[in-house]
Amino acid sequence: MEKIVITCAVTGAETTRKHNPNLPVTPEQIADSAHEAYLAGASIVHLHVRDEQEKPTQDVKVFKKAMELIRKKCDLVIEVTTGGAVGMTPQERLQPVTLDPEMASLDCGTVNFGDEHIVNTLPIMREFASQMKARRVRPTLECFDLSHVYGSHVLIKEGLVEPPYHYGFVLNVPGGVKYEPEVLDFFVRRVPAGSFWTVMGIGGKASLMSIYGAVAMGGFIRVGMEDNVYFSKGVLAKSNAQLVERAVRIAKESGLEIAKPGDVRKLLQLRG
Ligand code: ZN
């Protein structure tokens, strides 16, 4: 049976407890929520952390603590964010990569983010890719806009990213490209042959549609409160695990087997 990988983005940078009081924010809560997501079927946790005021931070001490707590509980693959949050400098964003996680996100272009924006010039992207390559951290090449897939081609051509490639198509960020089947099709046709890719839709509807899109087109799934705080229209998610459980159900009903962290390590050739 074909295996599908589920990533859970448990916290994110922009979601707050005002959006959903069940959002995990402390390292302990984040580790517990990641563990529950693992038990529900997630094999990768996409990790952001918060400071004591619950604000997004790229502080390595907080990342280290969350990573240690997660590793004590289970063997989830950890993907740290290098997108960070709006207003952070590139050097600030890159910090958690120095902890040698197995994976890290790598934004492949500048994007508007609501009224704000996140800057990723080619020199910034090259620096991030070089650091990840040197540390054998597998990047998730995140594309928020159509042009970003071409940005990823530049990094690949320059040898800064090596196969197997793993993409993350981020759909419906306010300012980025929308979730539409043609958009997903555009991305899928332009990644190098043999690439793996995960679809993430921001907001309730796009998140759910992204699960179906991934299943239909042979990609991987991402869910979690970073992307969407609702379970259904107007109904808040009780937990990250609840969102993972639904993704598992949809995948299984579609005849797919759920990948374990060990499968991901093999597929994406992670350091382990
Ligand atoms: Zn993120």
217 within 8 A of 186, measured Cβ to Cβ:
no
CA distance 47 to 9: 6
Distance 166 CA to ligand 1 centre (A): 15
CA distance 95 to 90: 9
Distance 268 CA to ligand 1 centre (A): 19
Distance 84 CA to ligand 1 centre (A): 7
- The b/e string for 39-78 (b: 16+ C-beta within 10 A; e otherwise) is ebbbbbbbbbbbeeeeebbbebebbebbbebbeeebebbb
Domains of the chain: 3-267 (3.20.20.70)
| Residue found under tokens 């991987």 | 220
pLDDT tier at 93, thresholds 50, 70, 90:
very high
User: How does pLDDT run across 28-86, given as a tens digit for each residue?
Assistant: 999 999 999 999 999 999 999 999 999 999 999 999 999 999 999 999 999 999 999 99
Distance 159 CA to ligand 1 centre (A): 25
Mapped to the 3 state alphabet, what secondary structure does the chain carry?
A: CCEECEEEECCCCCCCCCCCCCCCCCHHHHHHHHHHHHHHCCCEEEECEECCCCCEECCHHHHHHHHHHHHHHCCCEEEECCCCCCCCCHHHHHHHHHHCCCEEEEECCCEEECCEEECCCHHHHHHHHHHHHHCCCEEEEEECCHHHHHHHHHHHHCCCCCCCCEEEEEECCECECCCCHHHHHHHHHHCCCCCEEEEEECCHHHHHHHHHHHHHHCCEEEECCCCCCEEECCEECCCHHHHHHHHHHHHHHCCCEECCHHHHHHHCCCCC
Paired with 167 in beta bridges are 141, 197
Distance 46 CA to ligand 1 centre (A): 6
User: How does pLDDT run across 115-160, given as a tens digit for each residue?
Assistant: 999 999 999 999 999 999 999 999 999 999 999 999 999 999 999 9
Distance 221 CA to ligand 1 centre (A): 14
By the 10 Å C-beta count (0-12 exposed, 13-18 middle, 19+ buried), 115 is classed as exposed
User: How does pLDDT run across 164-215, given as a tens digit for each residue?
Assistant: 999 999 999 999 999 999 999 999 999 999 999 999 999 999 999 999 999 9
Distance 15 CA to ligand 1 centre (A): 10
Distance 12 CA to ligand 1 centre (A): 5
47 within 8 A of 30, measured Cβ to Cβ:
yes
Q: Is residue 152 left, alpha or beta, with left meaning phi > 0 and alpha meaning psi from -120 to 50?
A: alpha
Tokens of 254: 């579609």
Taking residue 133's Cβ as centre, other Cβ atoms within 10 Å add up to: 16
Distance 30 CA to ligand 1 centre (A): 14
Distance 236 CA to ligand 1 centre (A): 20
Paired with 109 in beta bridges are none
CA distance 13 to 46: 11
Distance 11 CA to ligand 1 centre (A): 8
CA distance 176 to 111: 6
Report the pLDDT value the prediction gives residue 1, as an integer from 0 to 100.
Answer: 66
Report the pLDDT value the prediction gives residue 183, as an integer from 0 to 100.
Answer: 97
User: How does pLDDT run across 211-228, given as a tens digit for each residue?
Assistant: 999 999 999 999 999 999
Distance 13 CA to ligand 1 centre (A): 7
Distance 154 CA to ligand 1 centre (A): 23
175 within 8 A of 113, measured Cβ to Cβ:
yes
| pTM for the predicted model, two decimal places | 0.97
